[in-house]
Structure 1
Amino acid sequence: MQIKHIVTSVLLILFLSSWDSKDKLVMNIAGDWTVQLDSADIGLKKGWQNRSFIQPMKLPGTTDDAGLGVANKLKPSLEKLQMSHLTRKNSYVGAAWYSREITIPKNWKGKELLLKLERVIWKTNVWIDGKQVETEQNSLIAPHYFDLSKYLIAGKTHRITIRVDNRKLFDISVDNMAHAYTNHTQIIWNGVIGKMEIEAFDVVRIASVQVKSDINAKKAKLAFALNNNTRKAAKGVLIVTAVNKKNKIAIETLEKKIQINAGQSVVEVDYDMGKDVKLWSEFSPELYELKAELKVGKNNSQISVDFGMRNFSKKGSVLTINGQPVFLRGTLECDIFPLTGYTPMDKEGWQKVFGTAKNWGLNHLRFHSWCPPKAAFEVADEMGFYLQVELPVWTLKIGEDQKTTDFLYAEAQRMIDEYGNHPSFCMWSMGNELQGDMTVLTKLMNSLKAKDERHLYTTTSFTFEKGHGDWPEPEDDFFITQWTKKGWVRGQGVFNSESPTFNKDYVASVEGMTVPLITHEIGQYAVYPKIDEISKYTGVLEPINFKSVKEDLERKGLIHKAADFTKASGKLAVILYKEEIERALKTAGISGFQLLDLHDFPGQGTALVGLLDAFWDSKGLISADEFRSFSAPVVPLMRFAKATYTNNEFFTASLDVSNYSDSSLNNQEIEWSISDDDSVIASGSTKAAISIGYNHKILDLNESLLKITKASKLTIKVNLKGTNYTNKWNIWVYPQKQSIDYGKVVYTRNLDEAIKLLNAGKKVLLNPDWKKIKGIEGKFVPVFWSPIHFPKQAGTMGILCNPIHKVFADFPTDMNTDWQWWDLNVNSTTLIVDSIDGGSPLVEMVDNFANNRRLASLFEGSIGSGKLVLASFDLANDLEKRPVAKQMLVSILNYMNSSSFNPDTIKNPDALKLILKKEKEKTAEKPTSIY
């Protein structure tokens, strides 16, 4: 047996070294080309295929890269055209002709010659020496291939001409918003951006191989597509081996004699991966390289593909990887690459994307209405990411146009052929928010299931189609939604309308769910534009949207506040994203979330919803380490009833742990503490067994708050000792026994009375009925998505204040909105104070960047010999039941009665009459009203 093993190993080494030494016959045709734009569409009539062109251009590349097309003439302005998305410096949509000469090697005689153009928009035609190649190609997501065997002669120099037409070919989206064909994220470029090569093959060859892993049988099931263009059957030998890419250990070679039919055929082979086969997952992204060689007489063909042994599946409503529960922590990738306007075609570009996502605790990316190139899959394979890929479609008219449907079927087959082997390709949706004939989608999905069972499938990533979208379609493997027929599964529906609570989940909404549920596009909390980001746009796109905001701020004298606007709105987004993620993690029956977005979306009205910018760089709002505290394989989760307390109450909470790592944490020590800025108020530890999955009630806390004698922010921290898993939450505690002392301050709700008192030299707290005054609806949550895309929403972006100002001496706060502000914000009207000359805001509201008005809910100023504080949140009603409002009132009064209260003069007090003009009582905006 030992001699046999040595002989086998020697033969295997000889095979692999022989295989690797044979260079593929490939001609790289990238480099210097000439180009002619055909805006008048006359090239075909004028016979441009028979001529060369004058304008030089590099390919791979685009006309945008080359500075060709119509130069931008838009100037900054807060108009929809400028604010819709980044602006192309040079724009071209139409046909463009590319030409160069190539010389075919003499030793290619008798070979089959295949041209590959990797990633083109949209339609391509090819000519050799003016003779048109028979086929044309139109894929948005796969390489365009042309068989040039009949057109090229070995040893001869030829002129190759490629016509690329990037005009819309099929109705795949509303307003060109599908990310495979759009100017909102990538651009509608013209050119070729990936590999450009001609490969020579023997006439009997392996065209492709599809690998399906059977982890139970420890076999790789191989399906070889063979091309035999000799017009007669032949016998051959197929040699197969696989090599673990990490440890370089090769599996025993399989050698099989096969019969090869004339034309195209498929040969299926079961390949034994051995007893020590390594499985692929996020925790062990083990990859194998499959190498196969076909020998048929003098014909020799080789192929190499990467694959992973894994089973991404479901068990009831739980996603699994290799039988273990998995929870998807995901965000979207919408082809956002602002320097080029198109996807990276090399691994380096994708290493930035996946490396950053992993550093921020994610394990999943959804490709919204597009499919990435090979390089993206390769990096995801290596890093252990679970990908959801979609057909290039986002339309409300599914099934209406048969040509579009046929195109989607063809694209789906190309996705299988090109990317199906990648273990990271786990989930497949037919498209984004599709509407129309849902039976057409189900039929398409079922046809793919029958062809390729390596992925899980769903008909659409959510839908607004009536009668659909709130429960899975009958054939779905998984379900993506923002609500079910039983309730919301994302914070958009609850965070503004329900007082803050941290013991809630979405269990009631998912009760009875039979397939894994992924929450759809959670977040979408707008962050104010980061003005200093403008300098980063050094490529083909100009940030006229950012420049428009900058110029407006400069014109209004607000540019010095821009950085604070970004920080304050961004910090609010952070706390909302945290609660979004934690509620999903707390819900048995939810298998993951898809953020929209961890990074900015520069289109659809400049939707700056990210904690990272469009370049995947941090905005400095929260560190990656902090973000991983609530987005990681293991997350401590605290359940408690509210954010604000009085000191006669107890802080009552229970600790859960979400553990979707690859192992249980046995006898795990858990440390906890409650502290203020100065000291630890309470602490403790316990030991527990934390199994894989969701672990309820590992620890109960019931701590008295009596020792808190002044208004305080407390921080609750939990740490799993010996690990990097930690989390924290803030609560606010106020003294229960404190009286409201007006001192020398006169309180009034009437402006006329306030003016009289001020003219008499009084200190006045003016607190009009917020429901009846002019202004903007007070909200806790910021602008949803974009104020340009959804202009009907109330649209502020959180508070901005100076936390060390004396008015907050008895009201602990940061410079931004946090959960303790909820009561004050929702019971308020935001005042538009542009017209006031003088005075100063104490609590500003950050306006949305479509308006950039001066907004406030607490304002001070001197009028005559009197001093005024104007508060537009409710400081009058049910104060004993509203400890935050009571505490704010106490803090304001203490400030007004102190020597620190010396506000600047309001030079035009009559402006208050217009600002506080009485209006019809407002009704609160519904969460769905934005649509």
Structure 2
Amino acid sequence: MQTTMDLSGLWEVRLGDGAPATVHLPGTLEENGLGEPETPALESRLTRRFRWEGEAVFSREVTLPDHPGRRLILEAERARQLRLTVDGQPVPTLQGTLSTPYLFELTRWAGRRVRLCLLSDNRYPGWPREEIVHASAATDETQTNWNGLLGRLCVHSVADFWVRSVRVYPHGRTLDAAVDLAVPRQALDAVGDGELVLEGPALARPFCLLRRDWQPESLRQGLCTLWCRDLPVAPEAPLWEEACGALTQITASLVLDGRTVSRARADFGLRTFGADGGRLTLNGRVFLLRGEANCCVFPETGHPPMTTGAWREVLGRYRAYGVNCLRFHSWCPPEAAFAAADELGMLLQPELSDWNCTNALETPHSAAYYEAELRQILFCYANHPSFVMLTLGNELCTGEEGHRRMAELVRLARQLDPTRRYAGSSNGQYGEQGYDGVSDFYTAAAYGDRMLRATSSPMIGHLNRCRPGTRQNYREAAAQTGGVPVFGFEVGQYESWPDFDQIDRFRGITIPENLRAIRRRAEQTGAAAYWQAGVQASGELALRCYREEVEAVLRTPGMSGLSLLGLQDFPGQGTALVGMMDAHLTPKPADFARPERFAAFFAPVVLLACFDRYTYEAGEWFTADLRVANYGRQTLAGPLCWRIAEGRTILGQGTLDAPAGWPAGGLREAGRIRWQMPGDARPHALTLELSAGDLNSRYPLWSYPCAKAAPAVLRRLTEADLRRIEAGASALIDLPADGTECPASVRCQFSTDFWSVGTFPEQEGTMGLLIRAEHPALKDYPTGTASNWQWWTQSHGRAFRLPRTIEPVVRVLDSVTRLDNLGLLWEARLGKGRLLVSGMDLAGHLEFPECRYLLECLAAYLDGPAAPMAAVTPEELRRLIRVSPR
């Protein structure tokens, strides 16, 4: 009943006053090799091979079909600001935004050979340009501000009385159906005999709306809607669920004078998305939002894929890491993304194309555009059960008028489609003002001064400010909204060093000059010699930090989940290498990036141990409260088994029984365990292992021997000390962490860099430790090669900027913007003597067994044979350490 004329293929394009060229559509100018080279190449983000900002005129002569009694509608599925002329005559736009297809009516030219001119302008005249090009919808930091036409490009031949769409709104075991007719209201009123028939497997029985009962509602010019309300759902119709994309159908037929003139089918899912007791619910059950922010990073094309198959692959990559909800950061994906998510049971949270941190929605043209975009998103993607939430943009900040308009748009969205949840912004006002009183949920980095994630710049949050354990949570912050669901915003942002093998995979429209610059810097500074080890060590630490972020939310009964940033590297904003996957959505070729490692804690059901600290002294009692975060769909059967092991040797074990199991829908108490640490005189690296069914969790623990007499250590260096060392003495130097004694040093923190030093230059940007675990100084100190929790206190010391000739015993990996040779613990010869230098302030933290015992190990090493080491001159040493006269 609807035929289509495909317009894909070769078109002529003219850029400004330039000569015409030939392009293939759908596609962008860059994909066709057109535009101006972006020079010079950039080191802060990917460089575009070509760019064009301005109007591009795509033209082509076509012969339009001549079907009497039918209408012709041109569709361009995805474009920038778009206009159409036919033989030079402007054609009104029926529909179209950055986020939804453009439609134009060509009926008056049916049967004629005409020249179509599609005028695409990525300067966005009359639209809120600055907000758009800052957003992921058009920023050169990720998607690029491309110019062109993407997706479907065709002319539809439809009936005069055209059932354009059927929108279905389920609520429990009934549903409402909105049948949209592309018919002027007056023409519909003139119909004599007619009926609208709805049927399909979703309905308990067919429904017929007779002509006398029609009460059309005008949507806009040339489009009206017939509503069929409270239709019973078939008892056997399946529910659409997380990870289970069960779809069903309804067909609407318009019958006039006994003849079916138009028909449309709606594929949709039966689901409810709401809230209960301050928690988000899906089909009435409390679940945990395991989200991820997608910033439209597709470096080969500079734009999102437009096919369902490609989106299945994209969503599958995320799902492998445990994601069940994809947030589209300040952009809305095309139809294909929703269709793929529907099939896979993935939840989606699109946003309007707005990122305005000053005066969001305060100007009339901004308010008008974003209202139109909101209306069209809700209209075009109404049938997709995966579409569960929407916000008006990212980190919107504004004044009184802007807030008033934001509230109006949230209310409008709720009125147009009550089956979804809406909020004025993601991280609105950066969380400083808290809940706005209107939104259906609250997602932010904080609530006022209460954090909702473990780290933010400049390294605030419990992960870097509080001694590590597993009891931190966000109860106080989550309780502030008064029962509105809360989930964390852009949680994580822990960088790791990049793998350079990915550089050769950039073969499309972007050039990875930013990654090449890092590689050159690594070669120039000598970091290339230990690069692969640094990739793995920084990645292991990033993974460890991401786990703490996730489990802190799991430990908070009042939170609905979290949204990460992110699992994919972000190749802009100074180059934020925060992902387990690179910019191509390919898992990084390192053990830390294996999807199953991340999904082990980013899952519907997770076994948790809550304890005060990771490090203990011999003979101390270890106490942990065991819990089950069960956000699956069924009760978890017991028992919960625990054991404490050293390698393969089991030192303690037990079970916690739960005859009724641990029900789904929340954080469940399993019981408390107590176990005494070994009382012998050696250190122990232990693992607490939890298991229930096929689930398991592991936590590291450390036990250290009881304190001995504190070893002799220099806390400052004097001229006399210098002479004594040069003459042949050995010295253990452990300097305070305030930096007063080591001017050529860098302040460190436990976690890796937050997002990027390019975006947040106030941070030092260190990237964790690379430890020579085999070094004799550490032979009795249990450690791996990467930072772990027993290094937390030491990691807050000072790292020395060392000459390249010195290989640190404990290296601090530097920001990729510098790649200095940083040492937290290092040794060198000075004259006939030797020195072992620590910036960890161990002597200032003797109350912590891991610091005290490490100091003992270093002193013992200094009393024994020396390992090979480099030499320093007195002058070099003076540049590293302040030498006092006496």
Trace 1:636-651 onto structure 2 (pairs within 5 A): 636-651=607-622
Q: Secondary structure at the match of 1:561?
A: helix
Instruction: Quickly say closer, same or farther: Cα 1:268–1:309, change in 2 above 3 A.
Output: same
Deviation at 1:177, TM superposition (A): 2.3
* Residue matched to 1:841: 808
Identify which of 384, 389, 393 aligns with 1:427: 389
Deviation at 1:473, TM superposition (A): 1.3
| Distance in structure 2 (CA, Å) of the matches to 1:234 and 1:413 | 32
| Distance in structure 2 (CA, Å) of the matches to 1:839 and 1:131 | 74
Deviations 1:471-504 (A, max 9, x none): 3111121111222246212101111111112122
Deviation at 1:101, TM superposition (A): 2.5
Q: Secondary structure at the match of 1:83?
A: coil
Range moving further from structure 2, 696-705 or 616-625: 616-625
| Distance in structure 1 (CA, Å) of the matches to 2:680 and 2:486 | 43
Trace 1:505-544 onto structure 2 (pairs within 5 A): 505-512=473-480, 513-544=482-513
Trace 1:590-605 onto structure 2 (pairs within 5 A): 590-605=559-574
* Residue matched to 2:249: 289
Q: Secondary structure at the match of 1:617?
A: coil
* Residue matched to 2:14: 36
Trace 1:528-677 onto structure 2 (pairs within 5 A): 528-619=497-588, 620=590, 621-666=592-637, 668-677=638-647
Q: Secondary structure at the match of 2:496?
A: coil
Deviations 1:196-243 (A, max 9, x none): 01101111121222211021xx22210112233584334323232234
Deviation at 1:672, TM superposition (A): 1.6
* Residue matched to 1:14: none
Q: Secondary structure at the match of 2:477?
A: helix
* Residue matched to 2:676: 704
Deviation at 1:883, TM superposition (A): 1.1
Identify which of 10, 21, 25 aligns with 1:59: 25
Identify which of 895, 901, 905 aligns with 2:861: 895
Q: Is the 8 A contact 2:96 2:103 kept in 1?
A: no
Deviation at 1:740, TM superposition (A): 5.0
Identify which of 211, 225, 231 aligns with 2:180: 225
* Residue matched to 2:843: 876
| Distance in structure 1 (CA, Å) of the matches to 2:95 and 2:665 | 47
Trace 1:71-82 onto structure 2 (pairs within 5 A): 71-75=37-41, 82=42
| Distance in structure 2 (CA, Å) of the matches to 1:686 and 1:264 | 63
Which residue identity is paired with 1:577? Answer: Y
Q: Which runs of 5+ in 2 are unaligned?
A: 456-460
| Distance in structure 1 (CA, Å) of the matches to 2:564 and 2:670 | 28
| Distance in structure 2 (CA, Å) of the matches to 1:707 and 1:173 | 65
Instruction: Quickly say closer, same or farther: Cα 1:888–1:210, change in 2 above 3 A.
Output: same
Instruction: Quickly say closer, same or farther: Cα 1:769–1:100, change in 2 above 3 A.
Output: same
Q: Tell me the TM-score normalized by structure 2.
A: 0.93
Deviation at 1:799, TM superposition (A): 0.8
Which residue identity is paired with 1:33? Answer: W
Q: Which runs of 5+ in 1 are unaligned?
A: 1-21, 41-52, 76-81, 245-249, 920-931
Deviation at 1:584, TM superposition (A): 0.3
Q: Is the 8 A contact 1:867 1:903 kept in 2?
A: no
Instruction: Quickly say closer, same or farther: Cα 1:696–1:665, change in 2 above 3 A.
Output: closer
Identify which of 196, 204, 218 aligns with 1:238: 196
Q: Quick check: 1:719 aligned with 2:691?
A: yes
Q: Quick check: 1:863 aligned with 2:825?
A: no
Which residue identity is paired with 2:54? Answer: G
Deviations 1:902-923 (A, max 9, x none): 333325441121122489xxxx
Q: Quick check: 1:786 aligned with 2:764?
A: no
* Residue matched to 1:318: 279
Which residue identity is paired with 2:442? Answer: F
* Residue matched to 1:9: none
* Residue matched to 1:114: 73
* Residue matched to 2:90: 132
* Residue matched to 1:795: 765
| Distance in structure 2 (CA, Å) of the matches to 1:906 and 1:39 | 67
| Distance in structure 2 (CA, Å) of the matches to 1:388 and 1:910 | 59
| Distance in structure 2 (CA, Å) of the matches to 1:422 and 1:727 | 36
Q: Secondary structure at the match of 1:119?
A: strand
Identify which of 705, 721, 729 aligns with 1:735: 705
Deviation at 1:134, TM superposition (A): 3.4
Deviation at 1:682, TM superposition (A): 1.3
Deviation at 1:736, TM superposition (A): 1.3
Instruction: Quickly say closer, same or farther: Cα 1:839–1:606, change in 2 above 3 A.
Output: closer
Instruction: Quickly say closer, same or farther: Cα 1:560–1:532, change in 2 above 3 A.
Output: farther
| Distance in structure 1 (CA, Å) of the matches to 2:132 and 2:465 | 32
* Residue matched to 1:474: 437
Q: Tell me the TM-score normalized by structure 1.
A: 0.88
* Residue matched to 1:905: 870
| Root mean square deviation of aligned Cα | 2.2
Q: Is the 8 A contact 2:201 2:237 kept in 1?
A: no
Identity of aligned residues (%): 30
Range moving further from structure 2, 767-776 or 567-576: 767-776
Q: Is the 8 A contact 1:751 1:768 kept in 2?
A: no
Identify which of 428, 444, 454 aligns with 2:409: 444
* Residue matched to 1:258: 211
| Distance in structure 2 (CA, Å) of the matches to 1:698 and 1:182 | 48
| Distance in structure 2 (CA, Å) of the matches to 1:354 and 1:878 | 47
Which residue identity is paired with 2:162? Answer: R
Q: Secondary structure at the match of 1:870?
A: strand
Deviations 1:16-45 (A, max 9, x none): xxxxxx5x31111111112221167xxxxx
Identify which of 171, 186, 190 aligns with 2:143: 186
Which residue identity is paired with 2:70? Answer: K
Instruction: Quickly say closer, same or farther: Cα 1:917–1:341, change in 2 above 3 A.
Output: farther
* Residue matched to 1:5: none
Q: Secondary structure at the match of 1:358?
A: helix
| Distance in structure 2 (CA, Å) of the matches to 1:300 and 1:897 | 96
Deviation at 1:163, TM superposition (A): 1.2
Deviation at 1:100, TM superposition (A): 1.9
Deviations 1:722-766 (A, max 9, x none): x3x221111111111545566xxx746315344212221122222
Identify which of 678, 683, 691 aligns with 2:663: 691
Deviation at 1:404, TM superposition (A): 0.8
Range moving further from structure 2, 187-196 or 93-102: 93-102
Deviations 1:443-483 (A, max 9, x none): 11112111211111111111237xx6443111121111222
Deviations 1:539-584 (A, max 9, x none): 1111111011111111223222222222221111111110110010
Deviation at 1:173, TM superposition (A): 4.7
Q: Is the 8 A contact 2:179 2:252 kept in 1?
A: no
* Residue matched to 2:54: 94
Q: Is the 8 A contact 2:204 2:234 kept in 1?
A: yes
